[in-house]
Amino acid sequence: MGPALGAGLRGGLFFGGRRRARIAVLIPMSGSAGIWGPSCISCAQLALDEINRYRGIGDREVELVFLDADDSVVETAVEQLNDLIEDGGVDAVVGMHVSSVRQRLNAALGGRIPYVYTPLYEGNEQAPACFTIGETPREQLAPAIRHLAASLGVRRWALVGNDYVWPRASHRYARDCIAASDGQVVFETYVPFGLEEPVELVEQVAAKRPDIVLLSLIGQEAVEFNRVFGAMGLDRSIVRFSTAIEENVLLATGADYTRRLYAASSYFAGLKTDANLSFVERYRSLHREHAPVLNALGQSIYEGLHFYAALIDGKRPRGAPITWRSARGGTFVSNERKENPIYLARADGHLFSVIDRLA
């Protein structure tokens, strides 16, 4: 990672004789994950306002370039990003998108500029100049599965996810955690993006009579599954649990269909910590009544921009952990050495109520 840290400082744009730092922000604005786009954009705008109010990045004013990073249009995003890099028009990438897009971007970037990947992911990222600040299955699933097994007595698990690297890797890890908690996996399936038959999928799950479903569907796919699940009355007998469902999905699903739904994450909008209460106040002050709902994925983009600012801060001692402005807290030494808080929450209508801090 080290040799690429200064790569983003070459080239660039000049306004009034003073160079601006330019960051490409890659987030989904279409497709199944497009539901997360407005929150990500709004959180990025808050980070930009704060960074520029302080002293920018390296004493340079910052501007953002937003690109659609949905899995279905990733090739277009790669072409646009390559053009920006070749023209010296971008210093870094901050991205919140699915892992299949991250893999494609890493191959295209080749470590030429820093790339901060912000959401939860499957772990073990070793690409040059790629910094992963989000949670991994080891951090989220191990304590959450232990807690749910002990507190709810769930033993029979169904694993349902989209068919790409993150759900499959997460579920491989989950299998070991479930076995360690004296549970068993009674059903496992993966579906492509663009879930066309949610009723059939929910019926397949119900037929196996699980106690709990580990749901690793993305964005709108999770919405469609949960609506059908609730409409069929399965929430009366089967618990749902996810590490990727957040407040946008709850809002789109509808309060009638979110009963007995749990989530593990390092951030929830309803956290009663000093850091989050201050973050929520600043966010609402900037966006007022038009503010999109806060959630872990939008907040991760806020963190990613502040992380990049801290990453290239020349005042940090070499090798020292990186800390940055955040609504949740956390430290980073490397992709394998970092600390994130983990909370377990239960859906309460359109919001999550935090039950416990797991780590």
Q: pLDDT of 115-148, one tens digit each?
A: 999 999 999 999 999 999 999 999 999 999 999 9
Place of tokens 């106040």: 281
Quick: pLDDT tens for 175-189.
999 999 999 999 999
pLDDT score at 168: 98
The three-state DSSP-derived secondary structure of 74-128 is: HHHHHHHHHHHHHCCCCCEEEECCCHHHHHHHHHHHCCCCCEEECCCCCCCCCCC
Q: Which pLDDT belongs to residue 146?
A: 98
Least confident of 229-233, 272-276, 329-333: 329-333
Summarised one tens digit per residue, pLDDT across range 1-59 is 333 333 333 334 433 334 789 999 999 999 999 999 999 999 999 999 999 999 899 88
Q: Using an 8 Å Cβ cutoff, are 163 and 194 in contact? A: no
